[in-house]
Amino acid sequence: MDNKIFVSEAFTYAINQYLSSKQMPDSEQYNSFFVVVIRTLMAIYDELDILNPYYFSDVKLLMNNLSKYGYGSVEIEEFLKALQDYYQKESDDGFIFIEKRLVDMFIQKFRSMKVSQEEITNFRYLLYTPRAKSPLMVSYNFLMAKNPSEIQNYFDSELEKNARVEAEKVKETLNLEAYEILKYSLEDIKQMSAEELDDVNKKVYNYFDINSNAINKKYLLDKAVYDYNHPRSAFSTGNGYVDILFILSLVATLAMVILIITFVVL
């Protein structure tokens, strides 16, 4: 790698250390603090979300990628500054601050989309706690943190709090026939999270060309579903009274034609 500086000396150092050790997962370098920070960011986002901005020297792209789950730009700047400060001088406060900001990023992702239990477990192993997968990380945590369980407790607390909020969110179910029209089964609906169902509900309203912000949207949806399942005949005007008059006029006209034909034949 060349000697270009991307974002900061700390971030550049962390990326280069990661790239030179990624094929040696048991090495001390791969399990060193700055490399683990990069690995943790990649666990929250994606490897290319972190590496592409570096390859293209695009700081704005990195900021956009780090904020894609809703994490604030001010908080991102604070995180990057803390990383640089820690690079210049290690401190227990800096260590805890960086770790907690990584937890906050993950929690923001957890709040904005469905995160699997496997992702949660893998992220937990990357945190500096007594339960970290690498003995080197466990040792470094005991060395730097006044309370070795602080990060573990912070993550567990934030995860539980946000999981409870997710569980308490009420799922809004629409007309079941509307879901069936869009090829969603009742079992599909039951297995969806509140956020996933919200997205499907928007698709349902869009399909029937209904404003999802309308006060009477559910009534409009019920009517649209009924009309979908009971298509009007080619002769229907949509008005029952007018339809009756129209049919009666057709009958009268037909009777008159038959009468005229009868007289002509006779």
Q: Which amino acid is at 136?
A: L
Compute the distance between CA of residue 25 and CA of residue 23 in angstroms, rounded to an integer. Answer: 6
Split at pLDDT 50, 70, 90, the class of 133 is: confident
| Least confident span in 85-94, 128-137, 188-197, 255-264 | 255-264
Backbone angles phi, psi at 6, to 5 degrees: -120, 120
Alpha helix (H) residue ranges in the chain: 9-21, 33-44, 47-55, 59-66, 73-88, 92-112, 117-126, 135-144, 150-168, 176-181, 186-191, 194-207, 217-229, 240-265
Report residue 32 CA to chain centroid gap: 31
| Cα-based angle 227, 229, 231 (whole degrees, multiple of 5) | 60
Compute the distance between CA of residue 241 and CA of residue 259 in angstroms, rounded to an integer. Answer: 27
Compute the distance between CA of residue 12 and CA of residue 34 in angstroms, rounded to an integer. Answer: 10
**14 or 260, greater pLDDT:** 14
Flag whether pLDDT at 237 surpasses 80: no
Compute the distance between CA of residue 149 and CA of residue 141 in angstroms, rounded to an integer. Answer: 9
β partners of residue 216: none
Instruction: Quote the mean pLDDT of the chain.
Output: 85
Compute the distance between CA of residue 205 and CA of residue 213 in angstroms, rounded to an integer. Answer: 10
Flag whether pLDDT at 163 surpasses 80: no
The average pLDDT across 206-234 equals: 83
CA distances (Å), origin 263, targets 36, 192, 251, 257:
101, 71, 19, 10
Nearest alpha carbon to residue 76 among 47, 45, 48:
45
pLDDT for residue 1: 45
Flag whether pLDDT at 18 surpasses 90: yes
